[in-house]
């Protein structure tokens, strides 16, 4: 890191907007190029670059000089990218689950089979919580048996069932209010 950059960092940490601007301009190309390389998507790289710059503006005071400034920027950008990927994965899983639930509802209607609000409410739960509830309350397995089946401690199963039931009650109560 050159002396000029160190001065910009110091001044930016003391609230100098011009120094912060110069610092961000100096690293913008490097950051955008890095994000383009890992995202392989121009718009996403642009968005993450902007988000990283905003994060740096908010947290410039947290930079401690332990690593190069560019390394600090890349660390922030990488974490933002990882968070973005996790959100996308959760959204994709939710969409797949929602589509599957609609298909099941439709198939039940075609076959003139009953479909309860409880089944809709179960669809809102995460798979691990839904599995624990179904095994416990629909099939009567003990927490210990469910733990063995799902390879998690019995206490975790009990917690999933408890929290899932609370979530189901809320879901079913909100459905009653909506009706």
Residue 101 CB burial class (10 angstroms; 0-12, 13-18, ≥19): middle
What pLDDT does 84 receive?
93
Domain ranges of the chain: 3-87, 116-178
* 45-86 pLDDT tens trace: 999 999 999 999 999 999 998 889 999 999 999 999 999 998
The CATH class of 3-87 is mainly alpha
Length of the chain equals: 179
DSSP state of 111: T
Return the CATH architecture of domain 116-178.
Orthogonal Bundle (1.10)
- Average pLDDT for the chain: 85
Query: Is the model's pTM score more than 0.85?
Result: no
What is the C-alpha separation between 92 and 98, in angstroms, rounded? 10
Mean pLDDT for the stretch of residues 138-151: 90
- Asked if 52 and 28 count as a contact pair (C-beta separation under 8 A), the reply is no
What pLDDT does 109 receive?
60
Closest CA to 125 of 154, 159, 165: 165
- Token couple for 20: 């912060």
- Asked if 150 and 160 count as a contact pair (C-beta separation under 8 A), the reply is no
């Amino acid at each position: 890191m050159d002396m000029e950059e160190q001065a910009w960092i110091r001044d930016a940490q003391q609230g100098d907007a011009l120094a912060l601007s110069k610092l961000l301009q100096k690293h913008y190309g490097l950051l955008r190029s890095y994000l383009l390389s890992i995202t392989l998507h121009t718009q996403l790289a642009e968005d993450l670059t902007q988000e990283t710059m905003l994060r740096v503006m908010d947290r410039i005071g947290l930079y401690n000089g332990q690593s190069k400034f560019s390394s600090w920027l890349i660390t922030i950008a990488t974490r933002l990218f990882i968070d973005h990927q996790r959100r996308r994965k959760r959204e994709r899983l939710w969409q797949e689950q929602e589509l599957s639930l609609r298909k099941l509802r439709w198939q039940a209607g075609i076959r003139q089979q009953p479909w309860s609000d409880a089944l809709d409410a179960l669809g809102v739960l995460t798979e691990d919580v839904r599995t624990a509830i179904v095994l416990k309350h629909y099939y009567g397995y003990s927490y210990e048996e469910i733990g063995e089946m799902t390879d998690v401690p019995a206490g975790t199963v009990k917690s999933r069932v408890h929290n899932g039931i609370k979530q189901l009650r809320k879901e079913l109560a909100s459905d009653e209010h909506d009706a």
